[in-house]
Structure 1
Amino acid sequence: MTAVPPWDAFTAAEAEVRAMVADPRWQGLSVPDRAHVLAARVLVTPDGDRWLFGTHARWHLLDPADGRWHPAPPPRGTRVRRVTHAAAVLPDAVVPPGHDFHAEPGSTQSFIGPDVPARLTEQLRVLVRASGRKSELDYPLTAFDEIFATDVPSTVAAVWGTIMWCAYAPAFDGNERLITVFGEYLRRSLPGDEWVRWLPAPPLLDLVTLVAERMRAGRHRAALRLAAVMADTAQILLLDTRFRPRALALLTMVEPLLRRPGFGDPYDDDAAMRGEWLERCPARLCRALLVENDPEAHFAHTVYDLVDALSFTPEPRRAAAAFLADLSDSRGTLPGRLDHRLRMAYEELREAGLTGTSAAETTQPDGFPVRTGEAAPASEVAPPDRGSAAAVLGAAYAMGLAWGRLTGAKLPGRGLAGQSALVRRIVHERDDHHTDHI
């Protein structure tokens, strides 16, 4: 007999809100009416925290100091009571319009541990080989030239850029075959340590530039080929949940180009073409594009993912604060972007002198980063299995990339301190069986 999971107030409230938003009548309600319905379903925990299941199908926690609602995973299994919150106090930003509940959930796992499915890797290997046979004179590198040698055609860069843009967190272990297929085309060794490759996440503009430059050069057929390579790559990436949300979004942006008889007048400004691509993406995929459209909201969602990935720990917010402590925050703006519970945990670490840990690290001869003085608190996190470890590493790295996109802060080439410490815990498990398990 299948065990029945214990009843949980947060899970029940979430199911109720999902059912309401899925009802066709939801679209006919005004925003104030929707707010009124949601306000009657606010949950309060014994410590006084107020929780609301709202936009992007995520929980939000009310900050009692300033009335802001922060995306935050709830303490499931905690005793709660339902209260009626003043509907007028609910900001429009937390009231779901409806399309945001249709987002592809995806996965927060990095590519450290569970491999990319073998059939996906093989299809991309074939695509990369075919792309590499193009002439660099017909397809010059106008982006990703820091990654590839000068004689590599931009068709190869289009495959690479699509993979990296679609990845939730482009951190790969050294035996990941998806990365090794690019080996002969690389300008230099990829960044990272002797095992993990902490790769940069390119902006959508880099992909746009590859196509826009060929259009300006009057090479419309080449521009069309580059768009097709991106679409083919994204189609293959749909096989893996770690790529799927942004792969879907990219397909909706690129495929219309392939159905048009002509591109029309070329853009003088690549940013204008990027804007057109983004406008083509349907509203139901909006969360996948927060990385491009709203870096602040994107950072908040990656923090949500990190806390959620750490749910196996006794205190997920304290564990998440340990990873946040790795970030460079010279202007002191990070605490104000966190919910009040997470902010308290972070401030405790700051008062103990344990923030900015990655900036304070040194490097030993064997290549492993270590802290001077006390150890980085994230080193104490011990995931129960490699899937959980990959989820934490992915969420933590995505959070670091989002912070860099938001503030301009640079990430260490060998990864943030807490992530590196977690990698050392699982390095002995690095050899995967190449099976299609995603």
Structure 2
Amino acid sequence: MAAVRTWDAFAAAEAEVRAMVADHRWATLPAPARARAIAARGLGTPDGDRWLFGAHARWHLHDPADGRWHLSPPPKGGRARRVGHAAAALPSRVIPQGPDFAAEPGSTQAFIGPDVPAALTDQVRVLLRASGRRSEHDFPLTAFGEIFASDVPGTVAAVWGTVMWCAYAPAFDGNEGLITIFGEYLRRPLPGDEWVRWLPAPPLLDLVALVAERVRSGRSREALRLTAVMADTAQVLLADPRFRPRALALLTMVEPALDRPGLDDRAALRDDETVRRAWLERCPARLSRAVLAETDPSAHFCHTVYELSEALAFTGDPAHAAATLLADLSDSRGMLPGRLDHRLRRAYGELARAGLTGTSAAESTEPDGFPVLGPAQPLPAGPHERHGQVAREGEGWHVPARAPGHHVVSGFEIEPPDRVSAAAVLGSAYAVGLAWARVSGARVPERGFAGQSALVRRVAHERDDVPS
């Protein structure tokens, strides 16, 4: 007898919403009608949570504490029933517009484990060699001076900056060929260790600065050459899904300037920021999520947390697993919990009461710092538990007290089933750290966040190459 396939309420609701938004009539519907259509397909789970599949083709979870909707992937295999929601209460940001459902699919993997394709590296090497032959007098290093020696031409920086800006999460194997080809140009060793280079994600303004300075110096031809180097590099990067969404976005921003020389000259004469805004305005709506780090850092952080939770779906409790990695973030002002949904907030609060948050900021890890908790070790009771809650400073948030007998698994004990899953966890976790740095101003540890570094050591033997 054939097995009966279990009906998945989340998959069914998602399919319905996708079909509605794909219909050409969706764009012509008035906003209230769109809200009613989305609200009518809300789901409820036995634990009382309410879910909507909405903007950006992602799930949103209702926070019973304050009524906000948070980006959050649904539970795998969880039971749910249609409950609907008051359409008038839905904020416009959770209603699909249409283009947001056509976002370019990419990958949340870091460049740790699976290598960058050799053909891609070879093509970038060709561009880099040609760029390295340019004169630093014609192409001064007006950005990335902390990376490259002073006699390196800006064309080299344009290749590097494009690679780093387009990367979803620029964490690379220490021996990754795409990084080692830049070795002769570097001012100093890159941050990280022999296993991983935890590299900074440059703002778009750094790429703009290379071009705009040449325009202001009356060297429009050189400005055009730098723009072409960025476009050529981005074109090569399209072959790897870890670069593709942002590479496409960058191409839509710079190619018009190649087709119409002088397009950004007036903006460049004003300042770099005006050029940056002009570039971003040329990015189509379907690629808007790829540039959220530039246009809305807070929303970008929420999306990276969503992607981290998705990457941890193989664990028994993705919310608790994600919280152990979020615990690495420095949050002296108490800003983080208010940006998390109530499930993540609860898990994060348990770690906070155990003194296991802000671990990377303190730069203290096992064995000299905090103890690593395992699944058999319950958390100690919080020192200030009262009436089932623990109050914390910052944005008036409250963390429910730990449930009796509940255990929390340390981020050091996350065990991905394969290296593809490990790369996705490392990539999304590092992307969260970079996004949080943009939102909070917290620094990114040079040798990586504690939990991520520990995971690297656990999967290092699965790399494509091993340092000798």
TM-score (norm 1): 0.95
Distance 1:416 1:370, change over 3 A: farther
Counting only pairs closer than 5 Å after superposition, residues 388-407 of structure 1 correspond to structure 2 as 388-407=421-440
The residue aligned with 1:114 is: 114
CA contact (8 A) 1:357 1:371 kept: no
The residue aligned with 1:275 is: 277
Identity %: 73
Measured after TM superposition, the shift of residue 269 of structure 1 is: 1.0
Distance 1:391 1:431 in 2: 16
- Can you list the C-alpha shifts for 1:167-189, whole angstroms capped at 9, x where unaligned? 00000011210001101000110
Measured after TM superposition, the shift of residue 371 of structure 1 is: 5.0
Q: Secondary structure at the match of 1:278?
A: helix
Distance 1:24 1:409 in 2: 44
Measured after TM superposition, the shift of residue 7 of structure 1 is: 3.8
The residue aligned with 2:290 is: 288
Q: Which amino acid aligns with 2:158?
A: A
Q: Which amino acid aligns with 2:72?
A: A
Measured after TM superposition, the shift of residue 4 of structure 1 is: 10
Counting only pairs closer than 5 Å after superposition, residues 158-177 of structure 1 correspond to structure 2 as 158-177=158-177
Which of 307, 310, 313 matches 2:312? 310
Measured after TM superposition, the shift of residue 357 of structure 1 is: 1.2
Distance 1:39 1:227 in 2: 45
CA contact (8 A) 2:228 2:258 kept: yes
Q: Secondary structure at the match of 1:406?
A: helix
Distance 1:78 1:194 in 2: 42
Q: Secondary structure at the match of 2:348?
A: helix
The residue aligned with 1:188 is: 188
Distance 1:360 1:5, change over 3 A: farther
The residue aligned with 2:90 is: 90
Question: Does residue 1:204 correspond to 2:188, yes or no?
Answer: no
- Can you list the C-alpha shifts for 1:194-223, whole angstroms capped at 9, x where unaligned? 210000000000000000000000000000
Distance 1:58 1:280 in 2: 25
The residue aligned with 2:303 is: 301
Question: Does residue 1:410 correspond to 2:443, yes or no?
Answer: yes
Distance 1:391 1:293 in 2: 24
User: Mind listing any 5+ residue stretches in structure 1 that lack a counterpart?
Assistant: 364-368, 434-438
Distance 1:337 1:233 in 2: 35
The residue aligned with 2:157 is: 157
Distance 1:381 1:222 in 2: 49
Distance 2:176 2:363 in 1: 27
CA RMSD, aligned part only? 1.6
Measured after TM superposition, the shift of residue 13 of structure 1 is: 1.1
Measured after TM superposition, the shift of residue 418 of structure 1 is: 0.3
CA contact (8 A) 2:224 2:261 kept: no
CA contact (8 A) 1:370 1:417 kept: no
CA contact (8 A) 2:154 2:210 kept: yes
Distance 2:78 2:62 in 1: 17
CA contact (8 A) 2:72 2:306 kept: yes
The residue aligned with 2:370 is: 373
CA contact (8 A) 1:290 1:298 kept: yes
Question: Does residue 1:129 correspond to 2:110, yes or no?
Answer: no
Distance 1:322 1:334 in 2: 13
User: Mind listing any 5+ residue stretches in structure 2 that lack a counterpart?
Assistant: 374-409
Q: Secondary structure at the match of 1:34?
A: helix
- Can you list the C-alpha shifts for 1:372-419, whole angstroms capped at 9, x where unaligned? 131272101000000000000000000000000111000110000000
Q: Secondary structure at the match of 1:53?
A: strand
Measured after TM superposition, the shift of residue 76 of structure 1 is: 2.4
Distance 1:5 1:309 in 2: 25
